[in-house]
Structure 1
């Protein structure tokens, strides 16, 4: 009987020893997201036996661009570069003609990738141990490239910092799950759930609707946890197989990074289950569009107090001016929130989307909703951005408009207590109109950057010209035999 006792004791001792060793592992190695130095990065990668690194950065559309390399190359100070022309490319992969202030670098010189080690994370859907890191871009002189999306958002955040303010945001991302569709001439269809039947519309907040995709949602949670991405809530939205993920509030750059990575994560999880996740603003003709609502507040950088509230809990003048700035400037920045021809199909009456710049208290039919909250959590929800928007640019535009309202002391209209998204549309009705309004607004030059505005406008005009080359079903249906 002595031998089994001894064997059990030995196993227990080994377990205790293993537990003690685990306790000795530094926290920066165990964390799923981000390290502070290259030395920590090397240990973090070795601990996970990472073989490859994806060095990625968002282009103007929010598409991940970059390079993959072996881990030993990544940690050996290898120079990484991308051609500058990548940030003048349309969503269709074309390079538009030069026009106005839109110009190409005559040398198509390199931009250097600078890894932001705070974004280092695993890539859980890869079969080989792989990590990813988001990169900034600098020119040959080491200066930030102002027309890249991360740099634009950083510039807006810096403007707040100069005033002693810190913006806080919380995005909500709507998206559709759709059946595989390899022929763009055919409309998208809802996928089949576990019941064997496609999900119909009208399932807002339906738990049964979520349960139809339990295994997919489990993968979304597992992939997110492995990358250190924090999901606050997940719901089924109004459209057929339309879901929404809400993220916890925090720093705008960190949240833009999370949305950027979430989009990858959701697409990969969906593909694993033989379906697509799409962030098109209006993917299905008769169904609601997909938004990226942005909750925004601003705190005093020293005290941490919400500057939207006075000490007695009442609304501050800055709160009102933030709303005034949103009302005045957002129509001029709409192309950063609604970046494609398809985006404007969502911003239509009776489609659960704003059609003007009205604001109101807990009024979901307005563009700018003030959710019910206590004074510390007072915030403005911008309901105009589409889910198709580049998260860095959408956050930059929204925060820039509020900032301009505060520094210029703008006064908002009276709040709206009735339905505000019916009738006439007072926003730009199409892509070209929105581009022109952005270019004409002089105040954007300093906070968003003139080079960015020229570059972005040129790309958007190029995308519109590409769209105009396609003959739509509407044209064939109503013009073919009638004109």
Structure 2
């Protein structure tokens, strides 16, 4: 509450949690009643954490009529208030997460799922260090065809990709300046921005931090910020996996290392190759990739990105300093030895995605797994085991893979499966243009 007292201009707050699709669900509350959220929490039905991409109840879900659509208790996370600079009126976001009325964490809450994985690391005296890289497109969606917005500086539209182009960044300098100011105000550690391979496509890296929950919070809030701020500048921003069929899609790459109780990176053995613990973590991630593809590619459009020769991985393999591989070990000094997981699209729920990666790495450490040899050269040209290539196959693999149930609670697994199966059914009724309109702002 100190933050609100220091910001008397804030008249309303939004309390919000991430559902299984990463969509913010919550309420608008006058700021003068915000203290009640801290003392009593707020309530909404458990089923709200398990809506489909349209915001509809899941048919036949036990969370709806079978239990009387009963309420869960939502309490503020440790993050506290964050300004919402994309709104015209001074407003604060208060992230919340869900519990049972007796205080037990609700297993179907994605943030609780990540907390569960982090607690398993803590029990072993380990701390994951996490960073995310987020790609997004700036888009003029005012017509029937998606286009790059005209530059506010020149009024011109760039029709092609401009990888690492300062000109492309400078064309939207006012937007990026406002974005970095907003990130500072929201305590989101935004670092480098670059232009990417698609028209109007950019990437911003968030800094490494030894707090996986905050890294996920930052990523979730950053996506809301980028989309909201873009609208206030007169265009759209989208993390949709593949808004343009002819151009590369949006990824959300994740870098991670693991510290022991003394603060030492267990992936570092002083060599260029990394430690046995690093290779065990790699092996765990590789073993879990078939089952966890649905987490990394959760939507119909997601699979348009995961195709050969499109700067997104399709084969299950790892490599040193090789961006065609699903898992890349970047060149670095030994102390900074880390794994880059390159499968997830920009359309993921960051809580589930980070939980899936860290949970898989922990399986590798617990079981002492050893990976196959790292690949050399173009991964697309090699005979590697493949990721599930379709949404339905990914759903079925997620359902059947026992490693998924070592990472996620059974209730979350079943809720996610019901959600995706319902979406598959109703998505078949939509045209490609209608799917694009749905995903453009939602994910």
Settle same-fold status: TM greater than 0.5: yes
Matched with 2:256 is: 296
In structure 2, relative to structure 1, the CA distance for the partners of 1:226 and 1:427 (3 Å cut) is: same
Name the structure 2 match of 1:87: 49
Kindly indicate whether the alpha-carbon contact (under 8 Å) linking 1:444 and 1:450 is maintained by their aligned counterparts in 2.
Answer: no
- Given the alignment, which residue of 256, 260, 263 partners 2:220? 260
CA contact (8 A) 2:169 2:195 kept: yes
The 3-state SS of whatever aligns with 1:421 is helix
1:333-482 counterparts in 2 under 5 A? 333-422=292-381, 426-472=386-432
Deviations 1:205-256 (A, max 9, x none): 1000101111111111121122121211101000000000100001111011
Match of 1:59 among 10, 16, 19: 19
Gaps of 5+ in 2: 434-443
Shift in Å, 1:79: 4.0
In the alignment, which residue of structure 1 is the partner of 2:79?
118
Please point out which of 186, 191, 196 is paired with 2:149.
Answer: 191
Corresponding position of 1:6: none
CA shift for structure 1 position 311: 6.0
Tell me if 1:151 matches 2:81. Answer: no
Q: Distance in 2 between matches of 1:237 and 1:218?
A: 18
Write the distance in 2 (CA, Å) between the matches of 1:471 and 1:73.
Answer: 44
Q: Does the 8 Å contact 1:371/1:381 carry over to 2?
A: yes
Identify which of 194, 202, 206 aligns with 2:161. Answer: 202
Q: Secondary structure at the match of 1:135?
A: strand
Deviates more, 1:451-460 or 1:108-117: 108-117
Q: Deviations over 1:392-451 (max 9, x none)?
A: 011011111111111111111111120113477711011121111112122332431000
Contact in 1 for aligned 2:162/2:168 (Cα 8 Å) = yes
**2:133/2:204 contact within 8 Å kept:** yes
| Residue 179 of structure 2, aligned match among 178, 196, 220 | 220
- Taking the aligned partners of 1:391 and 1:93, their CA distance within structure 2 comes to 19
Query: Is this contact kept in 1: 2:63–2:70, CA < 8 A?
Result: no
C-alpha spacing 1:103/1:310, structure 2 compared with 1 (3 Å):
farther
Detail structure 1 runs of 4+ shifted over 4 Å in the superposition: 101-105, 311-314, 422-425
Shift of 1:271: 0.7
Where 2:67 maps in the other structure, the secondary structure is coil
2:132 is the alignment partner of 1:171: yes
C-alpha separation in 1, matches of 2:258 and 2:425: 39
Alpha carbon RMSD of aligned pairs, Å? 1.9
Counterparts in 2 of 1:428 and 1:313: CA distance versus 1, 3 Å: closer
1:172 is displaced (CA, Å) by 0.1
Aligned equivalents of 1:187, 1:370: Cα separation in 2: 39
The residue number in structure 1 matching 2:202 is 243
- Superposition pairs of residues 321-340 of structure 1, within 5 angstroms: 321-340=280-299
- 1:471 and 1:287 map into 2 onto residues whose CA distance is 20
Could you tell me whether the CA contact under 8 Å between 2:139 and 2:238 is conserved in 1?
yes
2:58 counterpart of 1:96 = yes
Query: What is the alpha-carbon distance in structure 1 between the residues aligned to residue 104 and residue 63 of structure 2?
Result: 21
Write the distance in 1 (CA, Å) between the matches of 2:155 and 2:381: 37
| Contact 1:355/1:422 (<8 A) preserved | no
How far residue 187 of structure 1 moved from its aligned partner, in angstroms, is: 3.6
Cα separation, partners in 2 of 1:317 and 1:463, compared to 1, 3 Å? same
Question: Is the CA contact (8 Å cut-off) linking 2:85 and 2:229 kept in structure 1?
Answer: no
Which residue of 2 is the match for residue 320 of structure 1? 279
- Any idea what the Cα deviations from partners look like across 1:270-302, whole Å, max 9, x if unmatched? 1112100001000111010000000011110x2
Aligned: 1:280 with 2:243: no
| 1:337-367 deviation per Cα after TM superposition (whole angstroms, max 9, x unaligned) | 1100110110001111101111111101111
3-state SS in 2 of match to 1:192 = coil
- Looking at structure 2, the residues matched to 395 and 104 of structure 1 have their Cα atoms a distance apart, in angstroms, of 32
Moved more, 321-330 or 190-199: 190-199
Aligned pair count reads: 427
Residue equivalent to 1:29: none
3-state secondary structure, aligned to 1:118: coil
1:310 maps onto 2:269 in alignment: yes
Structure 1 gaps, min length 5: 1-40, 474-483
Give the alignment's TM-score, normalised by structure 2. 0.92
